[in-house]
């Protein structure tokens, strides 16, 4: 099922776009990885791993209010993409929340 792709806010969208303009090779590599995954999410929003509701960090609720669900996509190089899926009668939407390295992911989700 095809899906729309959105960013949770303008700041997240601009952070993504700024990666493509960076002179750092690591940023450009991350941009390519994210671009590839975003294309996959357009084809199949459910290609990631769903995070159980009880494991959704309060951090997200405080910033964005209650989220209907939360998913992660494991990128190469130990990066994680966090997103949620929203739908109505006409469309499914993958909403990009953030991406982070594995260490940040473990901290955010309380695995340390």
The class of domain 3-108 in CATH terms is alpha beta
Q: How confident is the model at residue 112 (pLDDT cuts 50, 70, 90)?
A: confident
Q: Which of 32, 47, 10 is nearest to 79 (CA)?
A: 32
Query: Residue 94 and residue 39: Cα distance in Å, rounded?
Result: 11
Query: Residue 93 and residue 88: Cα distance in Å, rounded?
Result: 9
User: Structure pTM?
Assistant: 0.94
Q: What are the extents of the domains in the chain?
A: 3-108
Query: Residue 9 and residue 55: Cα distance in Å, rounded?
Result: 23
pLDDT digit string (tens) for 39-98? 999 999 999 999 999 999 999 999 999 999 999 999 988 999 999 999 988 899 999 999
């Amino acid at each position: 099922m095809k899906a729309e792709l959105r960013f949770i806010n303008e700041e997240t969208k601009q952070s993504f776009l700024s990666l493509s303009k960076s002179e750092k090779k690591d940023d450009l590599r991350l941009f390519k990885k994210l671009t590839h995954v975003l294309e996959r999410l357009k084809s199949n929003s459910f290609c990631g791993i769903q995070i159980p509701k009880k494991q959704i960090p309060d951090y997200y609720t405080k910033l964005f209010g209650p989220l209907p669900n939360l998913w992660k996509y494991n990128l190469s190089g130990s990066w994680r993409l966090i997103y949620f899926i929203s739908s109505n009668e006409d469309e499914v939407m993958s909403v990009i929340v953030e991406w982070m390295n594995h260490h940040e992911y473990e901290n955010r989700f309380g695995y340390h």
